[in-house]
């Protein structure tokens, strides 16, 4: 799991081939490209799971980053 987190983290740091231009963000603008496109559902999930599991936190924020507007 640590390796998975590190791998995903490293992938975030420098894999971009170049700055993605606004006119290249057609797909990024789709709601399904946002990790938490239904934030109320995400909040409910966290609410339920943090009550059943011993851990919490680490949640990311949805939206942003895509530069789609």
Partner 1 sequence: MRTAAPTASRSVRPRSGGHGRGARSLPRCGRALRSAAAGAVLAAALLSFATRVRAEDKVEVKAEYFTEPANKQALHVFHPAVGLNVDAHPIFSLNFGYEADVVTGATPRTYGAALDAVSSATRFSDTRHAFHGGAELRLGPAAVDVGYTYGFENDYRSHAVDVGAKVDLWGKNTTFRLGYAHNFDSVCDVDNKGAMPTERRSLGSSEGCFKNIVGIISEPLAIDSYAASWTQVLTPILLSDVSATFQVLDGFQSNPYRRVRLFGTVEAQESEPLLRQRVAIQARLRLAVTRARGALGFLGRFYYDTWGIKSGTAEVSWDEWILPQLLFRVRGRFYQQGRAVFYRDAGEMLSYETVGPVGQYFTGDRELSPFRDYLVGFKAAWVHNADERGKILRVFEQLDFNLKVDLIDYQPLTPLPPNQIRDVGLVNALIAELGLALRW
Residues that bind partner 1 (CB under 8 A): 1-2, 4-5, 7-9, 11-13, 15-17, 19-22, 24-69
Between CA 46 and CA 14 the distance in angstroms is 30
Q: Least distance in Å: CB of 66 to partner 1? A: 6
3-class DSSP assignment, residue 16: coil
Is residue 47 within 8 Å of residue 39, measured between CB atoms?
Answer: no
Q: Least distance in Å: CB of 23 to partner 1? A: 9
> What are the residue ranges of helices labelled H in 15-62?
39-52
Q: Least distance in Å: CB of 4 to partner 1? A: 4
């Amino acid at each position: 799991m640590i390796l998975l987190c590190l791998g995903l983290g490293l992938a975030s740091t420098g894999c971009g081939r170049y700055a993605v231009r606004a006119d290249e963000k057609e797909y990024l603008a789709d709601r399904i490209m946002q990790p938490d496109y239904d934030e109320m559902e995400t909040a409910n999930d966290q609410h339920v799971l943090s009550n059943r599991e011993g851990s919490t936190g680490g949640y990311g924020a949805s939206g942003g980053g895509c530069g789609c507007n």
